[in-house]
Chains A and B, each alone.
Chain A
Amino acid sequence: EDQVTQSPEALRLQEGESSSLNCSYTVSGLRGLFWYRQDPGKGPEFLFTLYSAGEEKEKERLKATLTKKESFLHITAPKPEDSATYLCEDDKLIFGTGTRLQVFP
């Protein structure tokens, strides 16, 4: 059975302290890996799609990268407004359980 595993479960950062979130997947022949952001009380909001190993995408302080077995979401100099749960999903519609990020001023 295909699995998507995210780590860490929770991450506390000081404002400006860069870090990375991990998403590992088991599906072979991946055709799309999706990153979402979810704020409390809201539905997931799309961030990025990565299609092939080596691909990178950026949006403001976020950069997503993809290898053959995992994806990383790098957060550079985070701000408190980046606090949210970050979810990844493979192309079989399987979500990871998310990383809850808290950024403190």
Chain B
Amino acid sequence: DAGVIQSPRHEVTEMGQEVTLRCKPISGHNSLFWYRQTMMRGLELLIYFNNNVPIDDSGMPEDRFSAKMPNASFSTLKIQPSEPRDSAVYFCASSRRMAASSWNTEAFFGQGTRLTVV
């Protein structure tokens, strides 16, 4: 298996522009997670899906952020309009985890998208 695939690896955009990050999870995994990583705050969960359905988006910082999972093999994270403070590395992860009150199965991460908003 190729693992979790994210694109693009790097994105530089101007403030105010729309940014779309893409993720292909590992086949057979039923949960998908979007994380953001910065030096100041570490890894933060933005949103997770179970069986393509958004379960918890409480980590999404603002309405400028949105995520979709139209099918089991594809998800997008969109930022519109982008701002310099959105600059970070965004990771997608997938897992066989079941949506429950807590998780007990590991996640597999992609290589990340380094976003720079100037």
Contact = CB atoms under 8 A, between A and B. Distances in A.
B109 A44 contact: yes
A44 B109 CA distance: 6
A92 B102 contact: yes
Contacts of A98: 42
Interface residues of A, number: 24
Interface in A1-36: 27, 29-32, 34, 36
Nearest to B41: A97
Interface residues on B, range: 20 to 34
A45 B44 CA distance: 16
Given A95-B43, A98-B42, A42 B103 contact: no
Interface of A is mostly: loop
A46 B103 contact: no
A94 B33 CA distance: 12
B57 to A, nearest CB: 13
Nearest to B35: A95
Given A43-B93, A93-B33, A49 B45 contact: no
B107 interface: yes
15 contacts: A30-B102, A32-B104, A36-B109, A42-B112, A43-B4, A43-B91, A43-B112, A44-B43, A49-B105, A49-B106, A91-B102, A93-B103, A95-B43, A95-B45, A98-B42
